[in-house]
Chain A
Amino acid sequence: MPTYTFSVNGKTVTIDAPADLSLLWVLRDKLGVTGPKYGCGIDVCKACTSHLDGEAINPCVVPVSQVQGREVTTIEGLADGGTLHPVQEAWLEQDVPQCGYCQPGQIMAAVALLRKNKNPTDAEIDAIQNVCRCGTYFRIREAIKRAAAKM
């Protein structure tokens, strides 16, 4: 079985895995990084949204072979120790989560959006496709705007 070395939330990891095993299951089942969630496995619900070299990706459809030598950041790696990322702060201030299951992905999607666009319009926020089955979208929108104002 091939070996892959990459970084997860700032730590270098080396794992044995089949080349086509998706990053989601490498993270969850081999590394115990459970922040990214399974919701569909086919890149439509976006619950697993994480970052690869700072860009939003959906680990459920990224084979582990593609992350060799690269930097993976999950929700667990977003805060700076005990200091939350401004987007996480905004999420708390707007009391966004209900069941919370999609929120790691929502937050990672929002962080990626705000990196590219410091002040997104409503139409740009509309483009986020992450499903929230509890229907917290309005609070997500408000939290993104609040985070944009902070940042």
Chain B
Amino acid sequence: MGSPTDSTAEHEDGAVNRRRFLTFLVAAPTLTLATNLAADAIAPGTAEAVVSILPQPAEIMDLGDVLILAGTPTAHLLVLELTEDGEAHFELPRAEVGQGITTAVAMLVAEELDLPLSKVRVRLADARSELLMNQLTGSSNTIRSVYGPVRQTAAAARARLIAAAGKQWGLSTDRLVTRDGVVVAPDGRTATYGSLTSLAAKLTLPGLTATPKPESEHTLVGTPTSRIDARAMVTGTMRYTLDLDVAGAKPTMVRRPPTINGTVRSVNNEAAVRAMPGVIDLAVVPAGVAVMAATFGQALDAKNALDVTWNGGTVDALSDADIRLRLRAAAPPFIVPPLLTQHVDAEFDFAFVSHAPLETNSAIADVRDDRAEIWAGLKSPIVAKQTIAAAIGLPEDRVTVHVTQSGGSFGRRLFFDGALEAAQISKAMARPVKLMWSRIDDMRHGRARPATHHKVRATYALGRVLTYEHRVAAVETDFRHGLGEILTATAAHLPVAGNLSFAQTVFLTTVKVPYDFGVVTELLNEVPLKMHTASWRSVYSANTRGAEEILVDELAKRLGKDPVAFRREFLKTGRQRAVLDKVATAGNWGRAMPAGFAQGVGFHDEYKSCTACLVEIDARDPKKPRVVKAVIAADVGRPINPRGLEAQLLGGLTDAIATTLRAGLHIDRGLPLEGSYSQFHYARQKDSPPDVRIFILPANGEPGGAGELGVPAAVGAIANAYARATGTRPRSFPINFDVDFTPFSR
């Protein structure tokens, strides 16, 4: 990883202008630098100098690198235990929310220990304050960040087991090998790990070194493997937060205000509600009025029966039209005037999107005078613990936070509002609580991907793209889940400079154009509205890169080129072209389609991985389009579990189908209209293609990220297919976004 200066020096061929562009790009997108670009770069006479590969910040150091850097000092604080019954127990300081990371990590442990996978147990670690910045699950970074440390930890364990066997047998360790959970001597004697574990724990082994296996010797890692937790899931024995039996914790729900961030002025029928069947307690908390009952059914009835007078919220006057106007006004201006070259301009709008994990926001809290214990699905448990401790007035070390496996996240569980709320209620009621949000509340008062507005301009001449500008205006994304601390701590290392907001730093370390489009500038401006937002699978990339993939098709058309051929020509690396070629071949790109059907293609490169997606759409009824086939290829550097990777890409495809075609939130006077899956149209089986083919390319380096990788390419492919099938130019997403329901009352 080079500094920005080093990286660009590689490309430098003496052009003075280029150094100025370099300063522009590396020193972050500020207006000062924009002046530079405008002065130096746009004259057609210097086109040759303009068309060059200048690294965007995310190409030098992406957000995943930032997280790894922040976590490096603590990366080895991993807990791996070998039990006397021969199992390996590994504590993973990450959250499993469906990505399959416990399986992938178990594979790494099993591989390095020479232990059957069935003997590896992976448990999610409690919040561990000493891990500082190394307990954040996000940015598709789990495997990238733990691949080295987990293998090194397991390799050290294996070396110790061998040393213990050597000691026991009086043999030199270099004559011993491991196999299926036993150490084997040259004469055939064996000792199980379980029998060696206590001795291995006691030995003083100065100078013991352990090196992970060379990857060429991997036999499990890299092979398609089923989820270690699938059996529990298909038999109904997997325990999610609300399935836990915590002594005394009773069903609790909260009546919430009619607008986002409204507050309680008065509860007008408290006595009547307290007298309802099953009701145990009631308390006013910052979020609203909490009711505890013997069952959730009774808690829900009581919550609905509450008569509450509310104070206003923070965005009561705002509806979609106002927000869209503000976004349009906030998009930074283009630098390159369209006067001197041919150009294509486009503007795009994306609606708010609920994360809508199927398990609603939920938590268990048991807050006592001198201690507290919390259970919840948490992707940033340390910040959760610190915040909860402060909110309930306990020292941090008196609060225990258990991370439970949860029913989906898609970014939602970066935030711990449910856990905080449960702790506040438990304190107020002086009882353990089992808090569940209703679906309606989860959709209306939960978090959402912010609405965005995009302006994109590309200039071109003589078959080349000379400049490429993308201006993004977004409702502010909330990153107050610990990422701010990480960015502050690593600020000196970031390939961006200047007084950037956290959001701009995230934007610049995640979003990059994969094409050689000359001088590229991408800027983010945020509109701070006091709404509940959060990163949504692929953060800025689904919209930003999705919009770009649409523009790429339109550019190709202007230049008279086929969309695949055009992408091939402008992609920067062979690795990128390989995934594109794979889908074009496997998906029979260019085949004749009946009227109303079309193919579309999209590409994306992020997290040190790249992917291409080809879809076929049936848009004979433009109001009811269906993606009928998808072909996806991905190069993730080094696949750990190809079956899990395919699952993540399938999920990304489904997310793209939903958000491109039908799923979004309408904001109406300070509250989303949508309140359930009958209104927020996340894809269902009837929207899902019956023909999906996914190809994971062979290993060629270190593992890249994959959890979020699939979304942006699929957004582009679906929109492009729809455009071709219908002869339209989709600009506002989701494409079909009527209010086709009667909203629930507020």
What residues of chain A have their CB less than 8 Å away from a CB belonging to chain B? 1, 18, 21-22, 24-26, 28-30, 32, 34-42, 44-45, 47, 74-76, 78-79, 84, 88, 91-92, 95-104, 107, 122, 125-141
Contact = CB atoms under 8 A, between A and B. Distances in A.
8 contacts: A29-B297, A78-B235, A88-B234, A98-B408, A101-B357, A101-B406, A126-B686, A137-B683
B230 A38 contact: no
Main secondary structure of the interface of B (DSSP, over half): loop
Interface in B268-284: 277-278
B436 interface: yes
A133 B294 contact: no
Nearest to B103: A95
Nearest to B434: A29
B559 interface: no
Interface residues of B, number: 66
B100 A128 contact: no
A131 B677 contact: yes
A134 B234 contact: no
A100 B686 CA distance: 20
Given A28-B296, A100-B229, A92 B439 contact: no
Contacts of A30: 295
B463 interface: no
A102 B277 CA distance: 30
Contacts of A103: 233-234
Interface of B: 97-100, 226-227, 229-240, 242-243, 245, 251, 277-278, 294-298, 300, 356-360, 406-410, 436, 438-439, 643, 647, 650-655, 657-658, 676-678, 682-690, 692
A3 to B, nearest CB: 15
Given A99-B359, A99-B407, 11 more contacts: A42-B678, A44-B678, A76-B236, A78-B235, A99-B357, A133-B358, A134-B98, A135-B650, A135-B652, A137-B688, A138-B650
Contacts of A104: 233-234, 236
B651 A98 contact: yes
Contacts of A96: 230, 234
A38 B360 contact: yes
Contacts of A88: 234-235
Given A135-B683, A140-B685, A25 B295 contact: yes
A93 to B, nearest CB: 8
Nearest to A94: B226
B439 A45 contact: yes
Given A45-B677, A131-B677, A139-B650, A100 B297 contact: no
Max count, chain B CB within 10 A of own CB: residue among A28, A127, A131: A131
B296 A38 contact: yes
Given A44-B676, A138-B689, A141-B690, A133 B650 contact: no
B669 to A, nearest CB: 23
Nearest to A60: B297
Contacts of B239: 34
B407 to A, nearest CB: 3
Contacts of B643: 95
B459 to A, nearest CB: 38
A135 B654 contact: yes
Contacts of B688: 135, 137-138, 141
Contacts of A101: 240, 357-359, 406-408
Contacts of B436: 38
Nearest to A22: B297
Nearest to B692: A138
A132 B685 CA distance: 8
Contact of B356 (A29, A47, A127, A133): A133
A135 B236 contact: no
B297 A25 contact: yes
B415 to A, nearest CB: 17
